[in-house]
Structure 1
């Protein structure tokens, strides 16, 4: 007869299985461990005493992944996870160098100087351009001086020649005759007229002066041309290069005035002369001197040569070179001043 087995557990039972006879008891109840009281603030929490597990006891403390059930699914990770706060670092500040007033002042001075040079260059350029334009306008306007300016401005009644005589003696010249403006033909020698023809000859104005003793007479003339500045410059260079102002066949003609001390002043009485081609106004200035008593001169001399030291010629001894040069110089300065300001250098008297 087979031995009788003890009845086993019912299928589907959820209760714990009965221990076999004679087996040691098994703990099936999870004991809750006491929670130590919270430590006061500022004091370290007390470490719970380690409790020894009895021999043969089963540790029912839940472990991750243990047990018959599946571990709970992890929470889905968000698409954006804020970056971890970086550990605090300390930035070392670099020492700031001490300010140097001298270097700063130098930099400011350089800046001001640079701006000044730039502005000065621009202003200089503007001024140069403006000055050139005004000069060109004055040159063009000077062509009309022969009919726009009174005769007493162009040929003052009296000319003061301080230091203009021989030995730097003072001279005074008085106007005795004035000719109406006229064409160049007849007023100029044919050869001289041909020489100045490249610049054109629009009009000629003439006057005759005498010295304080009435022993010398001088005719001065203004030849107004149609040329521009480069043409006048070219003619002046030609006169200087070819010594045209020293040739006796290019002597200017005189202006005789009946009833005056210059009544007998003709071509035979010409003793000294000067011809100047101006470049700042379109004018040629000339002067020719001689004796008032009508005597002839066989060896006329240019004014520059007659005024040279040691000259013994008749024009030099009589100071006729000084007369021609002094009168031409003052009429020349007057026409330049009149072209610039509209006023003569000497007030008519």
Structure 2
């Protein structure tokens, strides 16, 4: 009141607004604090100036700005914080009274973690790429062309195909004899597979250097009259399709099939009509490089009675019209070429059968 001195009064007279000291916490509120609970809500204050809240001393204060990092409250909480009187209450944030919950700071991503994640991603892409391109890089047979698959299968026939498949006990040659007469041959001997050096003439080994040579299979047949004998052979090379085409082209260009230095060796069989079929009994021969398989087919024929032949003749010459040599007159050129063709057909059949079996197992 005017006229009274003391603390809190203005030095000059006149009306002045008395500021009372801030009151301490209410007894019940202090008790709640010590107990660690949340004080009861006070009734809403009377509306005050816009943008301000009324303190306990009756004055109005602007609300403190939100702490950095505090985001806006959801719309539902904001509606609950608005009383019926229309003046909004300040909704509780990270530092509101009673909960004292500190907002969890958002840590920046560590450069090491970023680098590790990038490395893991690159490794994953590498594994996927390896799974896609692996069959091609490793030469997986499922990725080979049909021709490459056929060659890979043919290389194994010398030990995987039954002997009766490659050298049937009986072979038929329709129109294979002189005057296109039919021929029938019976197998009298089969040799085990052998190395190339011991079974092939040196000139043929030289011709096979670009393709290599793995194994040689041979068998001897006789005709229906048992007057002729013929040894036929399958030479398995290591060449691919390109190498075999080059070899066949060289045979044709250099006329190697007519070269006497490539004359095949015989396979005599004791106790059979072919027991006297030796080096001097060779009368006519043929040698052919296939292009559908890594195989060279050869055949040499002679007389079953063991008579020697001074000048062996290539099958192409002995089969020519008007040929007057002993091999030509006896039809030995037809025997050699006819049996070579028949065994080639048997080889192709075995190759198709093996290829079909491989397709069924994939």
Q: With structure 1 as the length reference, what TM-score do the two structures score?
A: 0.59
- Secondary structure of the corresponding residue to residue 198 of structure 2: coil
Distance apart, 1:132 and its partner CA:
8.0
| Match 2:151 to one of 103, 117, 139 | 139
Q: In the alignment, what sits opposite 1:334?
A: 346
Q: How does 1:73-222 map to 2 (within 5 A)?
A: 133-222=145-234
The whole-number CA distance in structure 2 between the counterparts of 1:336 and 1:132 is 20
Q: In the alignment, what sits opposite 1:241?
A: 253
Q: What CA deviation, in whole Å up to 9, does each residue of 1:265-304 have, x standing for no partner?
A: 1111111111110111100000000011111111211111
The whole-number CA distance in structure 2 between the counterparts of 1:319 and 1:266 is 19
The whole-number CA distance in structure 2 between the counterparts of 1:147 and 1:321 is 30
Q: With structure 2 as the length reference, what TM-score do the two structures score?
A: 0.57
- Secondary structure of the corresponding residue to residue 284 of structure 2: strand
Q: In the alignment, what sits opposite 1:313?
A: 325
Q: What CA deviation, in whole Å up to 9, does each residue of 1:161-180 have, x standing for no partner?
A: 22111111111100000000
Distance apart, 1:197 and its partner CA:
2.3
Distance apart, 1:194 and its partner CA:
1.9
Distance apart, 1:316 and its partner CA:
0.5
Q: Which runs of 4+ in 1 moved over 3 A?
A: none
| Match 2:309 to one of 297, 301, 324 | 297
Bigger mean CA offset, 304-313 vs 184-193: 184-193
Q: How does 1:29-48 map to 2 (within 5 A)?
A: none
Give the number of the structure with larger relative contact order, counting CA–CA contacts within 8 Å between residues 6 or more apart. Answer: 1
Distance apart, 1:342 and its partner CA:
3.4
Q: What CA deviation, in whole Å up to 9, does each residue of 1:19-73 have, x standing for no partner?
A: xxxxxxxxxxxxxxxxxxxxxxxxxxxxxxxxxxxxxxxxxxxxxxxxxxxxxxx
- Secondary structure of the corresponding residue to residue 234 of structure 1: helix
CA RMSD of aligned residues (A): 1.6
Contact 2:281 2:307 in 1 (8 A): yes
Structure 2: tracts of 5 or more residues without a match:
1-141, 356-362
Distance apart, 1:192 and its partner CA:
1.8
User: Does 2:334 correspond to 1:322?
Assistant: yes
